[in-house]
Structure 1
Amino acid sequence: MANDDIELVRSRSLEGLRQRKNHHNHGPSVASRPFAGRIGGNQEFTLNPSDASFDSTVKRVPDAGTTFTWKQSFSVHAFTDLELWKESICEGVGTCLQIYLSGLYAIGLGDSTTHTSLGPVTPAAFGAIANTFLITLFIYAGGPVSGGHFNPLITMSTFFARLSIFPRTVLYILFQCAGAVVAGFLVRVSLGRPAALFRGVPGCYIDPLIVSPGQAYTLELMTSFVLLFIAFGVGLDPRQRMVFGPALSPILVGFAIGLCSFASGVARPGYSGASMNPARCLGLMAAAENFTMHYVHWAGDITAAMLIGLLYWAIPIYEH
């Protein structure tokens, strides 16, 4: 059976399932807007052009459909969309909560780095396991509302791959960064520690006396690119819907970030692991009152996001 036939059969089956659910469910409709850049959704939750609300929805937020032009992406009309602001607030709150938790165990594990016979290996392993669960659960929690990004790296990459429009990208990153800074200071207040003790946070600390800017940039770039390559393949590519669907995708994305955290955390003395989330380091480094080489966390991630966008332009998802 041809791929088009398989997709048609599957589409009809899903539509039939929705109709049966609607027939037996007389309650209110679920408030979840279509969004192509939803992590773990594999573009399952996008509007079909045959949908009665397609034109009006896509006019407000073009990324509710599977494809849109750069001109549509840069339209400022979406800045006036109230629902987009609500989704952005969700990104800010989710990022705050996520970084608060990750900040707590990162600082705790950082203190134990020299307390084990294996040096940084044991803390890096525990940090990777914690990251796996943390990211997976937050994607599940935030996916139905905002797409579950909670990370400028993910938001920037979906923008360059034309899965998120420019207004969404700007608002998401602004709220993510604001939430991260709030989280950083909440961690500091919660632990009652001075700023100086926050400077060695794993995933953000780079010793400029040991690691050069070029080395740090390369490590951040390549680790982030690996994460995006896996995350896009398992959590955003619609071709994977036929393999395992959106239910398993967040778990695989969590495994990806856990693997990348561990690999980068044990590889280089003076380098406590790749950030892969510049908002996290912005928040925790703000609490530490020290931004040494913080530009690397942004430069590497922006480059990785551009590379994944270029890759999906060269090897497009949809046939034209």
Structure 2
Amino acid sequence: MSTAPDLEKHATAPDTHDDARGAETRKRRRNQVSSRPFAGRIGGNQEFTLTPSDASFTSITHTVPDASSSFTWRESVRLTAFADVDLWKESVLEGVGTCLQLYLAGMYAVGLGPAAAATSLGPLVPAVVGGVSNWFLITLFIYAGGPVSGGHFNPFITMSTFFARLAILPRTVLYVAFQCAGAVVAGRVLRASLGRGSDAFKQVPGCYIDTALVTPGEAYALETMTSFALIFIAFGVGLDPRQRQVFGPALSPILVGAALGLCSYSSGIAREGYSGASLNPARCLGLMAAGERFDYHYIHWLGPLTAAMLNGLMYWVIPIYKD
């Protein structure tokens, strides 16, 4: 026959066990990786997106529809996502990443500027060095920022994902705003770090166009076609879900970086007076702000914007997914 203390011990044992299980559950939650699904993540091949079968599909896509690879234009332009705190955090990371990326890129860009006239090969040497440097730089930053924000660090990439219906309008607006702010900060800090005047930033490769040699139409054609080539490759290797079965999401950042390096190299040696395609409007915004000169800067935005629209049209005509 059980005594009163025995009954008390048996009664309290389940509570102790429940507390232990609760502590274990809380520990598992603390150790969960914090990464939100996003269809426009460069290098993810849409591997990290939600499907209607996911338990959290409705609750997450109600706020951020681009957590799924399929959403309507009406959902894309819905403004409720501006109230999402996590989206603001991801946008801040885009600004910080863009700032750091352009600070590093700006240093070797300023250093390579005089090399075009200092070597007998003209722009070939700085174009090669710049292209290879861009390859490594872009690849590493995509790896670093991809799990959180998608690793864009470039308004051109963000605009392209919007027109291809892989990113919602609020994300696009916030990302571009923070990317531009980060780029301007990078340009000003770089100028202060180097102790150089504005003249040192007026002929930076990829942002300098000699208006006496290159017409606006020529610059626009060069910017548009080079940007279109880059985004065609970037979407094919970094966002097409069919590539999961070919090489998976791990290799695609390297290929996107290689594509940008190739485009910057080829455009940097093709035309006298044209130092190469921008491929990142924020980069030129920051460096031209440091140089206090904005010759043809509108083309650094108009060309990529046109390419983003063309790429979006192509993905509408030839969609990735079947109806």
Q: Which residue of 1 aligns with 2:89?
A: 86
Distance 1:47 1:31 in 2: 15
1:219 to 214, 219, 222: 222
Q: Is 2:262 the counterpart of 1:228?
A: no
Distance 1:183 1:247 in 2: 29
For residues 5-31 of structure 1, give each alpha carbon's deviation from its aligned partner in whole angstroms, at most 9, with x where no partner exists.
Answer: xxxxxxxxxxxxxxxxx9xx8861100
Amino acid paired to 1:116:
T
Q: Which residue of 2 aligns with 1:238?
A: 241
Q: Which residue of 2 aligns with 1:314?
A: 317
Q: Which residue of 1 aligns with 2:127?
A: 124
Q: Is 2:176 the counterpart of 1:197?
A: no
For residues 202-249 of structure 1, give each alpha carbon's deviation from its aligned partner in whole angstroms, at most 9, with x where no partner exists.
Answer: 000001100000000000000000000000000000011100010000
Q: Is 2:96 the counterpart of 1:70?
A: no
Q: Which residue of 2 aligns with 1:104?
A: 107
Q: Which residue of 2 aligns with 1:171?
A: 174
Distance 1:26 1:105 in 2: 43
1:138 to 134, 137, 141: 141
- Percent of aligned positions with the same letter in both sequences? 70
Aligned residue for 1:60, secondary structure, equals coil
Q: Which residue of 2 aligns with 1:288?
A: 291
Q: Is 2:97 the counterpart of 1:115?
A: no
Distance 1:201 1:75 in 2: 39
Amino acid paired to 1:214:
G
Distance 2:195 2:97 in 1: 23
Higher mean Cα deviation, 109-118 or 214-223?
109-118
Q: Which residue of 2 aligns with 1:31?
A: 34
For residues 173-229 of structure 1, give each alpha carbon's deviation from its aligned partner in whole angstroms, at most 9, with x where no partner exists.
Answer: 000000000000111011111112210000000011000000000000000000000
1:48 to 41, 51, 63: 51
Amino acid paired to 1:70:
W
Q: Which runs of 5+ in 2 are unaligned?
A: 1-24
* Structure 1 residue 115, shift from structure 2 partner: 1.3
* Structure 1 residue 66, shift from structure 2 partner: 1.0
Distance 1:262 1:174 in 2: 28
Compute the RMSD of aligned alpha carbons. 1.1
1:183 to 186, 193, 197: 186
Aligned length: 297
Higher mean Cα deviation, 188-197 or 257-266?
188-197
Distance 1:112 1:74 in 2: 46
* Structure 1 residue 52, shift from structure 2 partner: 1.1
Distance 1:29 1:312 in 2: 35
1:247 to 225, 247, 250: 250
* Structure 1 residue 51, shift from structure 2 partner: 1.1
Amino acid paired to 1:76:
L
Q: Which residue of 2 aligns with 1:259?
A: 262
Amino acid paired to 1:274:
A
Amino acid paired to 1:280:
R
**Change in 2 beyond 3 A, CA 1:214/1:91:** same
* Structure 1 residue 119, shift from structure 2 partner: 0.8
Distance 1:28 1:56 in 2: 22
State the structure with more CA Rg: 2
For residues 65-119 of structure 1, give each alpha carbon's deviation from its aligned partner in whole angstroms, at most 9, with x where no partner exists.
Answer: 1110000000000000000000000000000000000000001011211111111
Q: Which residue of 1 aligns with 2:14?
A: none
Q: Is 2:274 the counterpart of 1:271?
A: yes
Distance 1:217 1:244 in 2: 35
Distance 2:122 2:189 in 1: 29
* Structure 1 residue 301, shift from structure 2 partner: 0.6
